[in-house]
Structure 1
Amino acid sequence: MSPRTQPRRRGLRIAVWSLVTVLVVAAGLVGVVLWQNSYEMDEQRVSIRHAGHTLNGVLAIPKDGRKHHGLVVYVHGDGPIDATHDDGYKPMWEANAKAGYAALSWDKPGVAGAPGNWLDQSMDDRADEAAAAIAWARARPDIDGDRIGLWGASQAGWVLPKVAAKAPVSFVIAVSPAINWLRQGRHNLLAELRADGATAARTKAAIANSDTTRRLLERHATFDEYVKAMRGDADGMTADRWGFISKNYTADATQDLRALRGIPVLLTLAGHDINVDTADTERSYRNVLDASGALTVERYPDATHSLLKRSIEQSDVKITFTALFSPRSLFADGFLDDQRQFLKDLGRGSNAIP
């Protein structure tokens, strides 16, 4: 063997073993991702007929061997959300499953191939949709019709009490729910301006634009009138979005919350919520529901509006890697456990309706 051949063979062996090492590590990482994104529940696609069209849903059933389960019906927040919220709901569904509850959710109209357009909906339309889903679930032999409740986030704050007024529900989990559309919008505007370190002049201009928008809504202005009033700068507003806001800007849950009296309610609030005024929300819920003795309030100081850990949500890289390798860790400490415990306590009667 020539002296030149030996280094070449050594180099080839090093390259081969390096490739093998990379492949083994990659396979290990893929295995971790698959394991971390596997949940203790069985998911099935379902179809629910409502108002002449079909809701494309997902039903997640606990793997506990039981043939009869309670059910948590999920009511989305704002935006084009699919049934699993891009898999973001699954850690919560698993928490439900550990407490013996199934979960039901569906694609918003116009999302993931579903018929319709969610921007055509009012809050009453959304409540009718959820009530139809409850009726569908109550007819299933694997669902306990006496243990069907609601989970809803953000914009769902206007929907949850409307559903409870239309259909019997045995509990509600309200996550960062809003109370008044216009107050929430102003809170969000000012909070974002503060977070951006906006100058006084910029803040004054933004408030002026907001006031103009409110006046346009009050006189039922068209989208073209809105664009003209904004001097041609729609700032992301579309005709469909303008129509959606026009339908819903008067939303206020204060009076509707009376439909939740006597029903066990878990209200979860974040410490860094720039979307919803959590003090206003807690005050409103306590004013209406505290006398019934069925309200539980949980606060998460480190959480953002979506109840994710603030340190994670502030970094796209952290969100991506955590979602891949430890999706349950996305949420604020205690958030998943508190929901599981709330549901378990319902079965023990500690939150039973008086």
Structure 2
Amino acid sequence: MSRIHSNGQDAETQPGSASGRRSRRRRVLRALASMAAAALLAAVALSGLAAWQNTYDLREEHVVIRTGGRALHAVLALPDHGRGPYGVVVFVHGDGPVDATHDTFYRPMWEAFAKAGYASLSWNKPGVGGSPGNWLHQSMADRAAETADAIAWARTRPDLDSHRIGLWGASQAGWVLPKVAATTPGIRFVITISPAVNWLRQGRYNTLAELADRNATPAERDAALARREAGLAVLRRGGTYADYCAAVPTDGTMTADRYHFISRNWTSDATADLGAAADRGIPTLLVLAGHDRNVDAAETEAVYRRELPPRSLRVEHYAQADHGMADLEVVGSDTRALLTAVFAPRSLYTPGYLNSLRAFTERFNP
């Protein structure tokens, strides 16, 4: 028979006894099992939520576009519902080694266009995702010719409406879209997001904006502008990459390919092409961000209003957006940005932007 201690507990179930230890272990194991089961259920639920939120009403078709003697690997994102022929929005990337989906972040826009009855056409830049070539060897004229070839390809598809072909482009595409609009017949509309106008002024603005953002001292500001002027001096005299490295202290971010790209494009200015496109009266949606460190939105708006007829230009401002139309409240926190990208990717964009894309393109439906 078990002994009873003065505290009234059975000796076999006291904390220090073997039986008590086994009982405690069983309770701990049951608790851990319950926690593991709850964690598993939560993981399954969150996995399902992420999968659902990253599923779009689209049918994506991988296609190949021939341009300049090479093949571009592309994606044609068709509406998941309805019957064609669909209008088509041709995407023109900004700077960087961008693939057709822009690491999936184009899909919310593709879905917005699909809801308006439009397909979206986008491709891996040369040298990205299996597309041959090197995008850093392209001029803005090369990129415009590539876009024109993509438009010509789209016009061969019976499921696409050749009378409803529009352009969407961001940032560096500001030097490409006006060229295409001025030289390619039959463009129905243009949507341009945070476009640059003049390469040199844009670069200076970006330099000063980033310095201001990190509260640089006047001495740091002067040093940065001096480095910039030294680099421009090399470009003006047609200097080589070695000349640039000798003249400008570098941290390795300026590669030979990058210098080659800049040397081909540093005189870019969209003003003349905007003027050439103006006579066509192509409806243009200019979208500008309230917190753009890359492009001077005020200058861009002034040039577009000067060069394009008022009847063809619509300007929209998004006060809480950054250069890429991301919502500042979301991307201001790395953790929140990551969670939003996984569980609510449409919410990465500033409120109203996706609906605006849909509403603007619906205007051109029959």
The yes-or-no answer on 1:284 pairing with 2:277 is no
2-side partners of 1:270 and 1:20: how far apart? 45
Name whichever of 214-223 and 180-189 sits farther off.
214-223
Out of 360, 363, 366, the residue aligned to residue 342 of structure 1 is: 360
Larger Rg: 2
1:23-72 Cα shifts (integer Å, max 9, x gaps): 10000000000000000111111111111110000110001221210000
2-side partners of 1:303 and 1:10: how far apart? 52
Contact 2:182 2:274 in 1 (8 A): no
Which residue pairs with 2:47 in the alignment? 30
The 5 A counterparts of 1:185-224 are 185-224=203-242
Out of 295, 310, 319, the residue aligned to residue 301 of structure 1 is: 319
The residue type equivalent to 2:189 in the other structure is F
Which residue pairs with 1:80 in the alignment? 97
- Seen in structure 2, the aligned counterparts of structure 1 residues 212 and 8 have a Cα distance that, compared at 3 Å, is closer
The 5 A counterparts of 1:126-137 are 126-137=143-154
2-side partners of 1:54 and 1:113: how far apart? 9
2-side partners of 1:208 and 1:83: how far apart? 37
Out of 142, 157, 160, the residue aligned to residue 143 of structure 1 is: 160
SS in 2 for 1:286: helix
Q: How many pairs are equivalent?
A: 345
Percent of aligned pairs with the same amino acid = 54
Contact 1:227 1:234 in 2 (8 A): no
Which residue pairs with 1:320 in the alignment? 338
Which residue pairs with 1:60 in the alignment? 77
1:239-260 Cα shifts (integer Å, max 9, x gaps): 1000000000000000101243
Name whichever of 253-262 and 191-200 sits farther off.
253-262
1:205-249 Cα shifts (integer Å, max 9, x gaps): 111111111111111100000110125x35510110000000000
Segments of structure 2 that go 5 or more residues without pairing to the other structure are 1-11, 14-18
Deviation for aligned residue 1:347 = 2.1
The residue type equivalent to 1:96 in the other structure is F
1:139-161 Cα shifts (integer Å, max 9, x gaps): 00100000001000000000001
1:174-217 Cα shifts (integer Å, max 9, x gaps): 00000000000000011111111111111111111111111111
1-side partners of 2:344 and 2:251: how far apart? 39
1-side partners of 2:40 and 2:165: how far apart? 47
Deviation for aligned residue 1:310 = 1.5
Name whichever of 282-291 and 89-98 sits farther off.
282-291
1-side partners of 2:277 and 2:365: how far apart? 19
1-side partners of 2:57 and 2:270: how far apart? 35
Contact 2:164 2:364 in 1 (8 A): no
Which residue pairs with 1:18 in the alignment? 35
The yes-or-no answer on 1:273 pairing with 2:292 is yes
Scaled by the length of structure 1, what TM-score is found?
0.95
- Seen in structure 2, the aligned counterparts of structure 1 residues 7 and 234 have a Cα distance that, compared at 3 Å, is closer
SS in 2 for 1:13: helix
Out of 47, 50, 65, the residue aligned to residue 48 of structure 1 is: 65
2-side partners of 1:133 and 1:217: how far apart? 32
Deviation for aligned residue 1:12 = 3.0
The 5 A counterparts of 1:78-117 are 78-117=95-134
Deviation for aligned residue 1:276 = 0.3
2-side partners of 1:138 and 1:103: how far apart? 13
1:261-293 Cα shifts (integer Å, max 9, x gaps): 2101000000000100001100111001134x1
SS in 2 for 1:70: strand
Out of 307, 311, 315, the residue aligned to residue 329 of structure 2 is: 311
The residue type equivalent to 1:79 in the other structure is G
SS in 2 for 1:65: coil
2-side partners of 1:43 and 1:170: how far apart? 23
Scaled by the length of structure 2, what TM-score is found?
0.92
SS in 2 for 1:170: strand
2-side partners of 1:335 and 1:89: how far apart? 13
Contact 1:302 1:310 in 2 (8 A): yes
2-side partners of 1:260 and 1:113: how far apart? 33
